[in-house]
Amino acid sequence: MEGSPERHSKKKVVAVVGGGLVGALNACFFAKRGFDVEVFETREDIRQAKIVKGRSINLALSHRGRQALKHVGMEEKIVSQGIPMHARMIHSLSGKQSPIPYGKKGQYILSVDRANLNKELLTEAETYPNTKLNFDHKLQDWSAETGLMTFVRPDGSTEEVEADLIVGCDGAFSAIRKQFLRRSRFNYSQTYIPHGYMELTMPPINEEFAMKPNYLHIWPRNTFMMIALPNMDKTFTLTFSLLRDYFRLPAQAMVSVKCSPYHIGDKCVLMGDAAHAVVPFYGQGMNAGFEDCIVFDEIMDRFSEDFNAVLPEYTRVRVPDDHAIADLAMYNYIEMRAHVNSKWFLFRKHVDNFLHFLMPRAVIPLYTMVTFTRTRYHEAVERWHWQDKVIHFEKMRFLIGTVLHCVMWPVLMASALMVR
């Protein structure tokens, strides 16, 4: 940028492409380390925008995301602006409401407003004197060899910027990732689910919530579902998942993206949806993206901020975890619209929670590991499968023992009578 070479010669420059949730949080992480940080966002500054474009779907903030926010001193502020949800509230066809607790007493996830959270993170990033936010800057091209980027402004003029590290946080349809696709040995896949989503708003009744506020409400209907999360203004944001258009309006698509590696040399790394967009059914998309920031920061500590060592290690550590949560989100896509109606599903939830109560270290429910700990996602899945095998083995052993008891008891009684 004009007038910046002298400043940049003193410190390494980190360019964060994308000023959404993960990009804004990343800016705080890098600025806190003392790097000169430049954030580039295609859209206008949402803090000044009359209408915020893009998704407004509510988000569920849990432990992983909170830990990342805590690292930059933002946890308490964001938590104070969220609404605790202690359980799922299942709405049956008959109108019956049945809560399914998320974890132990006192454990909850938080319903937070996406736009407000993004605004808070941008404002926090701007408090660092070594951070500059650049809005209305659309990435046109960039070089993985030199770190040179070209941006287009609204008036059609271009601007060239050079950075020591480019951090791609520009979403599921990342412009940064396009360069990765041109390179050999880059694995990439995307999957659209058949359902789209639309948003509705449930207004308050007599200035109070129309339903119990401290729950994530679900209307599971097998082939479709509706979800409602509470807002601070006493409304609910409802996400309606459907196969066909609702009142002929286009539904928003939901995509799952997997790729590997997450880096190119020591010049560029992908984070958040740019690396691993997930469908929203485990409530971990934002949390996984925020955890990317803290994992990268931890690796920076281990390798003394040497990008040449940090970036490949980040790929090695993070890819299996992000692929695991993408798969879990797909699994929960079926669970939330169908399995929660199953008596067997509810029974297993009670069994898992009971065993966790009896043996808190030996048996930990999958949801607890994912939502209330920082157990690595892929390790949580592996442990879940192991626990499932053990529980099924014990169940079969119990059934076999019961059958043998029923069969052998009459035989033993008959034998005893004959002896007498």
Give the domain CATH number at 304: 3.50.50.60
Q: Are residues 351 and 283 in the same domain?
A: no
Residue 385 in any domain: the answer is: yes
CB 420 within 8 A of CB 414: no
How far, in Å, are 100, 223, 270, 275, 403 from residue 57 at the CA level?
22, 21, 23, 20, 51
Quickly state the pLDDT bin for 340 (edges 50, 70, 90).
low
Residue 286 in any domain: the answer is: yes
Q: Are residues 309 and 354 in the same domain?
A: no
Task: Report the greatest alpha carbon distance in the chain.
Answer: 107
CB 273 within 8 A of CB 171: yes
Q: Measuring CA to CA, which residue among 114, 112, 17, 22 is closest to residue 72?
A: 22
Q: Which pLDDT does position 410 carry in this prediction?
A: 61
Quickly state the pLDDT bin for 398 (edges 50, 70, 90).
low
| Residue 66 tokens, joined | 């909170």
Residue 289 in any domain: the answer is: yes
For residue 405, pLDDT beyond 50: yes
Which of 116-120, 295-299, 337-341 is predicted with the least confidence, judged by mean pLDDT? 337-341
Instruction: Give the rounded percent of residues in the chain with a pLDDT score beyond 90.
Output: 66
Domain count, the chain: 2
Instruction: Give the rounded percent of residues in the chain with a pLDDT score beyond 70.
Output: 84
86 compared with 246, residue with greater pLDDT: 86
Residue 198 in any domain: the answer is: no
Q: Which pLDDT does position 249 carry in this prediction?
A: 56
| Average pLDDT score over the chain | 88
Highest mean pLDDT among 77-81, 236-240, 361-365: 77-81
Residue 34 in any domain: the answer is: yes
Q: Which pLDDT does position 338 carry in this prediction?
A: 61
Q: Are residues 377 and 330 in the same domain?
A: no
- CB atoms inside a 10 Å sphere around CB 104: 13
Q: Which pLDDT does position 363 carry in this prediction?
A: 83
Q: Which pLDDT does position 387 carry in this prediction?
A: 86
For residue 400, pLDDT beyond 70: no
Residue 42 in any domain: the answer is: yes
Which of 141-150, 309-318, 342-351 is predicted with the least confidence, judged by mean pLDDT? 342-351
Which of 18-32, 41-55, 253-267 is predicted with the least confidence, judged by mean pLDDT? 41-55
The last residue of one of the domains, among 268, 301, 335, is 335
Q: Are residues 293 and 385 in the same domain?
A: no
Q: Are residues 286 and 350 in the same domain?
A: no
User: What tens digit of pLDDT does each residue of 253-264 get?
Assistant: 899 999 999 999
The arithmetic mean of pLDDT across residues 349-371, rounded, is 82
Q: Which pLDDT does position 402 carry in this prediction?
A: 63
Which of 108-112, 240-244, 245-249, 366-370 is predicted with the least confidence, judged by mean pLDDT? 245-249
For residue 32, pLDDT beyond 90: yes
Q: Are residues 11 and 132 in the same domain?
A: yes
Q: Are residues 150 and 264 in the same domain?
A: yes
Q: Which pLDDT does position 300 carry in this prediction?
A: 98
371 compared with 1, residue with greater pLDDT: 371
Residue 134 in any domain: the answer is: yes
Q: Measuring CA to CA, which residue among 78, 258, 269 is closest to residue 168?
A: 269
Q: Which pLDDT does position 253 carry in this prediction?
A: 86
195 compared with 203, residue with greater pLDDT: 203
Q: Are residues 69 and 146 in the same domain?
A: yes
Q: Are residues 323 and 393 in the same domain?
A: no
Q: Which pLDDT does position 341 carry in this prediction?
A: 65
Q: Are residues 366 and 291 in the same domain?
A: no
The last residue of one of the domains, among 335, 370, 400, is 335
How far, in Å, are 158, 276, 292, 413, 414 from residue 419 at the CA level?
101, 72, 73, 10, 9
Q: Are residues 324 and 351 in the same domain?
A: no
The last residue of one of the domains, among 335, 362, 382, is 335
222 compared with 402, residue with greater pLDDT: 222
Give the contacts of 87 (CB within 8 A, at least 6 positions apart): 99, 100, 101, 102, 215, 216
Whole-angstrom distance, CA of residue 364 vs CA of residue 137: 46
Q: Which pLDDT does position 246 carry in this prediction?
A: 47
For the sheet containing 263-264, what is the strand order?
131-134, 36-40, 13-17, 165-168, 268-270, 263-264
The arithmetic mean of pLDDT across residues 14-22, rounded, is 98
158 compared with 341, residue with greater pLDDT: 158
For residue 134, pLDDT beyond 80: yes
Q: Which pLDDT does position 6 carry in this prediction?
A: 40
The arithmetic mean of pLDDT across residues 338-351, rounded, is 68
392 compared with 171, residue with greater pLDDT: 171
| Residue 312 tokens, joined | 């490949």
Q: Are residues 19 and 61 in the same domain?
A: yes
Residue 246 in any domain: the answer is: no
Domain that holds residue 134: 5-83+113-189+256-335
